[in-house]
């Protein structure tokens, strides 16, 4: 992978629900002066974002923040929503543009069946009611990357409504303190993506790439049921996993397949909601959380200083860590919505309403799609907990990385090692190596079978755990070798020969009389553990790490007390 991809969790964290790495990168945000001004004893907004839970200062009201989200997920499909053009990320500019995408006069939209099925599937997975009749509308605005001067969307009657999304957030300091929350889903609508404008400032030109113009989007509208950046980021993360499990969107935020707009307002509990601002185009979960928390702080600061919040559109400057009004969104926009006259109503069926003898190519049956729903992430996690006695946070961690769960399951299939051991190896060592080298699971040089074999060797005590780590490092470096080969090449197998071990112990003790004597003087049982550990270390060194330390300890203790 050429460019580093922004990932959800960062190196060193074994699993992450949605703990955003808070205080590390505040940048020049302090220049704006809000986060530093508040004397609330928190070094970072993100680590303690539940504003409602905070105690108010003397004479001050409490503040509650309300956050709603509009999420645009690019539908994973071969062709665009209304035209036959292919959909590819990073294709040469304007190479995937049909006459319709370029809005040549006289061209007409033809709805892509796959996109409709993706919308229905996503709606079902998010517990929505699927509208058997939905409508398309035109939303008008002039923009260089919107060739028709309008976007076809579903404003009046969207394809799915009234759903819900459950997600988990950490509530305490420990990762195991997890709380499940639910956000209502207002609607899911099908709509067209726009093209891309590339501003060439030195030449004061704008270049237009229409490859993205007309790609199918699912707009998922989350009700304002969230109260901080972390909750919003967790909800988005869960949605991302669901979309990926369904295959309805690749939902890669760095590639723009998942884009989030956040609506934020603050108010005093018990009072009407405040005026909201919209922060647009947030393209990473970390920035989403940061932008929301910044905006909450900013609004509170404005209101506490007697100023008003404007209903405006803002953007997040990730370098400065703050939100700013968007210049080109100034002034009132009237989208002049109008029914799309070139598309008849979108009609869906269920088995009960299916017209007899209907051509399966012409109708979409909601019940068939429901039957094809794959296992959702929450179900997968529950299964992991039930089947392997796994900790909830470990089940989250396994699902957090694309392909990691499959890797884990393949290892489990081929090894006799305990699931706990496998979990620990996959999440600690394997994932750690991946993170360090910025690789995806698919790019790993170590296969599941290799790790399974290694764990088998460890399980039957053929090697020590420190030797196992050595073998793993070797596996990572030299592709194609099996763990057993490495073990024998490097002579890492544990010494099973008791007599030989006794001899080594004896030699070591004789070679280090001072240590031996100091131990002999004291009662070994209460004795100096450092001293005996030193001896164990020396014996292991003498055996080139091939001795099991517990066996050595036993021999040494016997020899000392004899």
Partner 1 sequence: MLGRTLREVSTALKQGHITPTELCQKCLSLIKKTKFLNAYITVSEEVALKQAEESEKRYKKGHSLGDLDGIPVAVKDNFSTSGIETTCASNMLKGYVPPYNATVVQKLLDKGAVLMGKTNLDEFAMGALGSDTGGSTRNPAAHCGVVGFKPSYGLVSRHGLIPLVNSMDVPGILTRCVDDAAIVLGMLAGHDPKDSTTIQDPVKPFTLPTLADVNKLCIGIPKEYLVPELSSEVRSFWSKAANLFESEGAKVIEVSLPHTSYSIICYHVLCTSEVASNMARFDGLEYGHRCDINVSTEAMYAATRREGFNDVVRGRILSGNFFLLKENYEKYFIKAQKVRRLIANDFVNVFNSGVDVLLTPTTLSEAVPYLEFIKEDNRTRSAQDDIFTQAVNMAGLPAVSVPVALSNQGLPIGLQFIGRAFCDQQLLTVASWFEKQVQFPVIQLQELMDDFSSDFEIEKLSSVSLKQ
Residue 242 vs residues 165, 204, 236, 245, 249: alpha-carbon distances, Å:
10, 42, 10, 5, 9
The pairing of strands 338-339 and 196-200 is: unpaired
- Please report how close the Cβ of residue 325 comes to partner 1 at its closest, in angstroms: 18
Contact between 182 and partner 1 per CB under 8 A: no
- Please report how close the Cβ of residue 213 comes to partner 1 at its closest, in angstroms: 10
- Please report how close the Cβ of residue 421 comes to partner 1 at its closest, in angstroms: 58
Question: HSE on the CB side for 64, CA within 13 Å?
Answer: 12
Contact between 144 and partner 1 per CB under 8 A: yes
Contact between 342 and partner 1 per CB under 8 A: yes
Q: How many residues bind partner 1 (CB under 8 A)?
A: 31
Annotate each residue in 84-123 with x if it binds partner 1 (CB under 8 A) or - if it does not, as one string.
Answer: ---------------x--xxxxxxxxxx------------
Judged by CB under 8 A, the stretch of 146-154, 441-449, 490-498, 501-509 that binds partner 1 is 146-154
Task: Rank residues 141 and 503 by Cβ distance to partner 1 and give the closer one.
Answer: 141
Q: From the list 8, 15, 150, 408, which residue makes contact with partner 1 (rule: CB under 8 A)?
A: 150
Task: Rank residues 144 and 166 by Cβ distance to partner 1 and give the closer one.
Answer: 144
- Please report how close the Cβ of residue 340 comes to partner 1 at its closest, in angstroms: 8
Encode burial over 79-113: b for 16+ CB neighbours within 10 A, e otherwise. Answer: bbbbbebebeeeeeeeebbbebbbeeeebebebbe
The H or E element that residue 290 is part of is helix 285-304
Annotate each residue in 319-338 with x if it binds partner 1 (CB under 8 A) or - if it does not, as one string.
Answer: ---------------xxxxx
Residue 547 in contact with residue 539, Cβ under 8 Å? yes
Contact between 385 and partner 1 per CB under 8 A: no
Encode burial over 9-46: b for 16+ CB neighbours within 10 A, e otherwise. Answer: beeeeebbbbbbbbeeebeebeebebbeeeeeeeebbb
Contact between 362 and partner 1 per CB under 8 A: yes
In angstroms, the CA 92 to CA 128 distance is 38
Residue 457 in contact with residue 487, Cβ under 8 Å? yes
Q: From the list 53, 57, 113, 149, which residue makes contact with partner 1 (rule: CB under 8 A)?
A: 149
- Please report how close the Cβ of residue 145 comes to partner 1 at its closest, in angstroms: 9
Contact between 495 and partner 1 per CB under 8 A: no
Annotate each residue in 196-235 with x if it binds partner 1 (CB under 8 A) or - if it does not, as one string.
Answer: ----------x-x---------------------------
Contact between 33 and partner 1 per CB under 8 A: no
Contact between 138 and partner 1 per CB under 8 A: yes
Q: Decide: helix, strand or coil at residue 98.
A: coil
Helix intervals (H) in 374-482? 377-388, 392-400, 404-414, 419-424, 431-436, 448-459, 465-477
The H or E element that residue 488 is part of is helix 483-489
Q: Please report how the helices 392-400 and 377-388 are oriented relative to each other, as an axis angle in degrees rounded to 10.
A: 130
Q: From the list 341, 356, 360, 480, which residue makes contact with partner 1 (rule: CB under 8 A)?
A: 341
Contact between 177 and partner 1 per CB under 8 A: no
Task: Rank residues 89 and 99 by Cβ distance to partner 1 and give the closer one.
Answer: 99
Residue 339 in contact with residue 135, Cβ under 8 Å? yes
Q: Is the Cα dihedral 515, 520, 522, 528 positive or negative?
A: positive
- Please report how close the Cβ of residue 327 comes to partner 1 at its closest, in angstroms: 12
Binding site residues, partner 1, CB under 8 A: 99, 102-111, 138, 140, 142, 144, 147-150, 206, 208, 334-338, 341-344, 362
């Amino acid at each position: 992978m050429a460019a580093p991809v922004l990932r959800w969790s960062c190196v060193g964290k074994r699993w992450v629900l949605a703990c955003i790495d808070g205080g590390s990168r505040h940048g020049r945000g302090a220049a704006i002066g809000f986060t530093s001004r508040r004397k609330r004893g928190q070094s970072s907004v993100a680590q303690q974002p539940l504003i409602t839970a905070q105690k108010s200062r003397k004479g001050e009201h409490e503040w509650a923040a309300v956050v709603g989200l509009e999420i645009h997920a690019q539908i994973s499909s071969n062709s665009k929503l209304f035209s036959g053009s292919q959909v590819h990320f990073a294709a040469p500019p304007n190479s995937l543009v049909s006459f319709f995408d370029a809005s040549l006069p006289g061209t007409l939209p033809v709805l892509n069946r796959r996109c409709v099925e993706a919308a229905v599937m996503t709606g079902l997975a998010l517990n929505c009611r699927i509208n058997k009749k939905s409508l398309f509308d035109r939303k008008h605005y002039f923009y260089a990357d919107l060739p028709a001067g309008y976007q076809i969307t579903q404003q009046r009657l969207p394809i799915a409504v009234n759903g819900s999304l459950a997600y988990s957030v950490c509530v305490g300091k420990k990762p195991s303190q997890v709380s499940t929350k639910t956000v209502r889903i207002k609607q899911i609508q099908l709509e067209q993506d726009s093209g891309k404008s590339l501003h060439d400032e030195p030449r004061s030109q704008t270049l237009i790439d229409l490859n993205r113009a007309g790609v199918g989007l699912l707009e998922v509208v989350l009700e304002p049921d969230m109260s901080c950046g972390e909750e919003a980021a967790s909800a988005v993360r869960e949605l991302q996993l669901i979309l990926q499990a369904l295959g309805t969107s690749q939902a890669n935020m760095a590639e723009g397949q998942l884009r989030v707009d956040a609506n934020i307002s603050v108010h005093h509990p018990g009072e009407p909601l405040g005026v909201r601002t919209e922060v647009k185009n947030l393209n990473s979960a970390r920035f989403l959380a940061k932008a929301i928390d910044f905006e909450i702080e900013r609004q509170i600061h404005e209101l506490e200083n007697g100023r008003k919040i404007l209903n405006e559109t803002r953007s997040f400057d990730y370098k400065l860590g703050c939100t700013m009004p968007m210049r080109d969104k100034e002034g009132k926009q009237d989208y002049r919505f109008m029914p799309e006259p070139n598309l008849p109503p979108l009609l869906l069926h269920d088995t009960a309403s299916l017209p007899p003898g209907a051509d399966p190519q012409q109708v979409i049956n909601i019940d068939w799609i429901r039957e094809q729903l794959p296992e959702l992430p929450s179900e997968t996690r529950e299964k992991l907990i039930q089947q392997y006695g796994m900790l909830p946070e470990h089940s989250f961690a396994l699902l957090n990385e694309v392909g990691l769960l499959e890797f884990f399951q393949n290892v489990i299939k081929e090894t006799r090692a305990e699931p706990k051991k496998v979990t620990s190896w996959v999440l600690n060592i394997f994932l750690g190596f991946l993170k360090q080298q910025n690789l995806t699971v698919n790019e790993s040089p170590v296969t599941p079978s290799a790790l399974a074999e290694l764990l088998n060797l460890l399980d039957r005590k053929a090697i020590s755990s420190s030797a196992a780590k050595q073998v793993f490092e070797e596996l990572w470096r030299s592709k194609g070798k099996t763990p057993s080969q490495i073990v024998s090449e490097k002579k890492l197998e544990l010494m099973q020969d008791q007599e030989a071990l006794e001899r080594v112990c004896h030699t070591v003790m004789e070679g280090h009389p001072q240590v031996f004597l100091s131990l002999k003087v004291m009662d070994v049982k209460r004795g100096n553990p450092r001293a005996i550990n030193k001896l164990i270390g020396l014996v292991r060194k003498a055996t080139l790490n091939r001795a099991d330390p517990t066996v050595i300890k036993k021999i040494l203790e016997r020899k000392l007390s004899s």
